[in-house]
Amino acid sequence: MSDSHPPIRVPVGPPGAGRSRGDDEARHAAQARPAITPPIDIHEGPDGLTLEADLPGANESNLTIQLEHNVLTLDARIDEPDADPARLIHQEFPIGDYHRSFILSDDVDRDRITAELKDGVLKVFLPRTDRVRARRVEIKS
């Protein structure tokens, strides 16, 4: 049985938030590597959308979520694991850089977007703005 770890809260913000120049240089160097498009599931609930991305090997230090203008971008750099004496005979999860971008509609409240990472699955909650939430109108007489 595997140990259950609490989810990691991943900051969502403008480009460069919380990163140093060295991080940006490393990202630029990583752009030469081919990117993997991670599989995504999107669920709609009463309060908004939940985006789920499979990012095997991702953790808080190698995952960046950026929100610039109307584009939400997920980037993760996954390095090769240390050499294992066992010979790999089958691999279904490729090792490399993950990249995926989404154009958000005006219905998403950008200030309340949250993200959690647990066991290689990233969940990003995209809440609806108050103006698009259904509400009941009181009738006064």
Residue 69 one-letter amino acid: H
Res. 2 pLDDT band, cuts 50 70 90: very low
Measured CA to CA in angstroms, residue 74 lies from 83, 91, 94 at distances of: 28, 23, 17
Distance of CA 36 to the CA centre of its chain: 14
CA 129, 132, 136, 140 torsion: positive or negative? positive
The CATH number of 8-79+95-132 is: 2.60.40.790
Residue 86 or 40, more confident: 40
Where is mean pLDDT largest: 1-10, 31-40, 64-73, 126-135?
64-73
49-53: average pLDDT: 96
Give CA–CA dist 107/131, Å, rounded.
8
pLDDT of residue 14: 55
Res. 92 pLDDT band, cuts 50 70 90: confident
Alpha helix (H) residue ranges in the chain: 21-30
